[in-house]
Amino acid sequence: MQQNQNKDVIRETDAQAIQLAKTLLRSARFGALAVLEPRTGSPLVSRVGVATDIDGASLILVSMLSAHTPALLADPRCSLLLGEPGKGDPLAHPRLTLICQASRLERGSDAHVRAERRYLNRNPKAGLYAGLGDFSIFRLEPQRASLNGGFGKAYQLDRSDLVTGGPIIEELAASEQSAVDHMNADHLDAIAVYAHHFAGAPSDGWTIAGLDPDGMDLVSGDNVCRVFFPQPLASARELRPVLVDMARSGRAAGQAESET
CATH code, domain carrying 76: 2.30.110.10
Residue-wise pLDDT for 25-41, tens only, equals 999 999 999 999 999 99
Q: What average pLDDT does range 13-35 have in this prediction?
A: 97
Q: Are residues 64 and 118 in the same domain?
A: yes
In a domain, 198, yes or no: yes
Question: How far apart, in whole angstroms, are the C-alpha atoms of residue 125 and residue 3?
Answer: 47
Helix 168-186 and helix 239-259: axis angle, to 10°?
50
Q: Are residues 172 and 126 in the same domain?
A: no
Q: How confident is the model at residue 86 (pLDDT cuts 50, 70, 90)?
A: confident
User: Residue 240: what pLDDT?
Assistant: 97
Q: Are residues 174 and 159 in the same domain?
A: no
Q: Are residues 189 and 62 in the same domain?
A: no
Q: How confident is the model at residue 6 (pLDDT cuts 50, 70, 90)?
A: low
In a domain, 70, yes or no: yes
- In the listed set 108, 133, 163, which residue is the last one of a domain according to the structure? 163
Averaged pLDDT of the chain: 94
Is the pLDDT at 260 greater than 90? The verdict is no
Q: Are residues 54 and 146 in the same domain?
A: yes
In a domain, 225, yes or no: yes
Q: Are residues 158 and 168 in the same domain?
A: no
- In the listed set 163, 179, 197, which residue is the last one of a domain according to the structure? 163
Q: Are residues 98 and 29 in the same domain?
A: yes
In a domain, 34, yes or no: yes
Residues 81, 148, 55: CA angle, nearest 5 degrees? 55
Residue type, 16: Q
**For residue 195, what are the domain limits?**
164-250
Residue type, 184: N
Q: Are residues 8 and 108 in the same domain?
A: yes
Q: What average pLDDT does range 61-90 have in this prediction?
A: 95
Residues 24 and 58 sit within 8 Å (Cβ to Cβ): no
Residue percentage of the chain with pLDDT more than 70: 96
Is the pLDDT at 5 greater than 60? The verdict is no
35 has which bridge partners?
A: 44
Q: What average pLDDT does range 250-254 have in this prediction?
A: 91
Q: Quick one: CA dihedral 192, 240, 27, 228, positive or negative? A: positive
Domain count, the chain: 2
In a domain, 44, yes or no: yes
User: Residue 150: what pLDDT?
Assistant: 82
Q: How confident is the model at residue 2 (pLDDT cuts 50, 70, 90)?
A: very low
Residues 107, 111, 114: CA angle, nearest 5 degrees? 100
Question: How far apart, in whole angstroms, are the C-alpha atoms of residue 88 and residue 66?
Answer: 33
Residue-wise pLDDT for 102-143, tens only, equals 999 999 999 999 999 999 999 999 999 999 999 999 999 999
Look up the CATH number of the domain holding residue 199. 3.20.180.10
Residue-wise pLDDT for 198-244, tens only, equals 999 988 999 999 999 999 999 999 999 999 999 999 999 999 999 99
Is the pLDDT at 3 greater than 60? The verdict is no
Q: How confident is the model at residue 7 (pLDDT cuts 50, 70, 90)?
A: low
Q: Are residues 52 and 105 in the same domain?
A: yes
User: Residue 152: what pLDDT?
Assistant: 81
Q: Are residues 168 and 100 in the same domain?
A: no
- In the listed set 103, 134, 163, which residue is the last one of a domain according to the structure? 163
Q: Are residues 110 and 94 in the same domain?
A: yes
User: Residue 257: what pLDDT?
Assistant: 76
Q: Are residues 181 and 242 in the same domain?
A: yes
